[in-house]
Chain A
Amino acid sequence: MRELWRQAWTIARKDLTLEFRSRTAIVSALVFTALVLTVFNFGRDPTAVSTLDLAPSILWVTFTFAAMLALNRAFQLELENQALEGLLISPLDRRSLYWGKLLANLAFVVVVEAVGLPLFVLFFNVAVGHVLLPLLAVIALATVGFVAVGTLFSAMVVRTRFAELLLPVVLFPFLLLPLTYAVQATARLLAGRPLSEVVGWLRLLAAYDIVFVAVASWLFPYTVEE
């Protein structure tokens, strides 16, 4: 188990170093996040629909599409000089490859969310101070869920011709549940509802994470075999 984590960390550190050096996906994701929040902010009519009704959906649309950029890039990194072939020849445990990619993707998405959340608060003028901890819990649980599934599907589609197009399509059915839970929980938190109304959604998100992280980790080795 220790070796599995050591290898996973080696993969994650390499991916993050490559992203830090090239800054291709992170810049795109951050610009995309700022752009979407800006457009939604100036495009809405506050007298027609209240901010609190729109804000949770906008937050999660932004995070999901920004995360898609990370997920698309995760295995495309390995196509350069067919490094994926080298990884599969090496004694690297396939599950380590999955966990390494998952860790790097989570780090990437967390950076985007760390920038996106303050922008969201700024643009939509929603008070999150009193619900910050439960809101962060919702964001963390939902992010783990859809990044876990997205990492698996990213590996499955990377060798197809239209990987970037295909990933959101195949991922969509699996995103419905965690995003629905996340939007519902976020809406209740921003509306100042009691925490007891949110706990159920948090439990559902946690259950989704446990199930799909385990299933994705188990299935992953089969997706990368030639």
Chain B
Amino acid sequence: MLWAEGLRHAFNGGRVVALDDVSFSLTAGQTLAIFGPNGAGKTTLLKVLAGLIRPQAGSARVAGGRSAIGWIGHQSHLYGHLSVRENLLFWASLYGVPRAARGARATDVLARLSLTDRAEQPAWSLSRGLVQRAAIAKALIHDPQVLLLDEPFTGLDLAAAGELRSLLGALRGAGRVVVLATHNVDEGAELATDVAFQVRGRFVQYEPRGGRGPAEIADAYRRAVGETGGGRHA
């Protein structure tokens, strides 16, 4: 459902390498957790997968195109003067959700994110954690086949983070493909079917998670990052 082949991308005239020969493919039900230090190129990779950045080499493809992608990034993409429900209906319309189904779809997603009692509040009045929940609701409004998540746990309290983990687990069970990028191994390790360590744009390790727990993955990550001298670019 998602293919990336030989992706390369650099900024500042080639001085900052964000992607260096990144290749992988994911099928239904797979969740890839990409761990890497700040500046490793995780966000660039997700933007390339989403079609926001055209890579300088290689190609990426998502089955179903843009309509199949749900995105949670550093920003919520919410309009402050629209209510949470109005925001969801707006995005549902852009993603081609049939008019008759939009209301029910919004109600369902709001309930899954425990936002029902906040539905009519303008987005500007929400706290940081609630904004993040609303952003997740926005990403799910069109029932995407592929979810691209960039540090999705940012701003969530423990309970909300737990709910998000449950939600992502359910989505994986329903055959969705999830790509999750984070610098925090504890947050994403349990969800993943596959784990990649990205350092200076390159996947220095990519393998199925197997039976490894967060602690083992964290050890492997520290070794991988240590061996390559960290993620910062020269």
Chain A residues with CB under 8 Å of chain B are 3, 6-7, 10, 14, 17-18, 21-22, 77, 80-83, 85-92, 225-226
Contacts and interface: CB of A to CB of B under 8 A. Distances in A.
A81 B78 contact: yes
B164 to A, nearest CB: 19
B52 A88 contact: yes
Interface stretch (B86-94, B178-186, B190-198): B86-94
Given A81-B75, A91-B67, A226-B53, A86 B80 contact: no
B94 A7 contact: yes
A85 B75 contact: yes
A90 B52 contact: no
Given A88-B52, A226-B47, 13 more contacts: A18-B81, A18-B82, A81-B75, A81-B77, A82-B75, A82-B77, A85-B77, A86-B71, A86-B138, A89-B50, A90-B66, A90-B91, A91-B96
Contacts of B76: 81
Interface size bracket, B side: 20 to 34
B54 interface: yes
23 contacts: A3-B96, A6-B93, A10-B90, A10-B94, A17-B81, A18-B81, A21-B82, A22-B81, A80-B80, A81-B78, A81-B123, A82-B77, A83-B77, A85-B52, A85-B77, A86-B77, A88-B51, A90-B91, A90-B95, A91-B95, A91-B96, A225-B54, A226-B52
Nearest to A7: B94
Contact of A91 (B47, B65, B74, B90): B65
Nearest to B50: A89
Interface string B132-164: 000000100000000000000000000000000
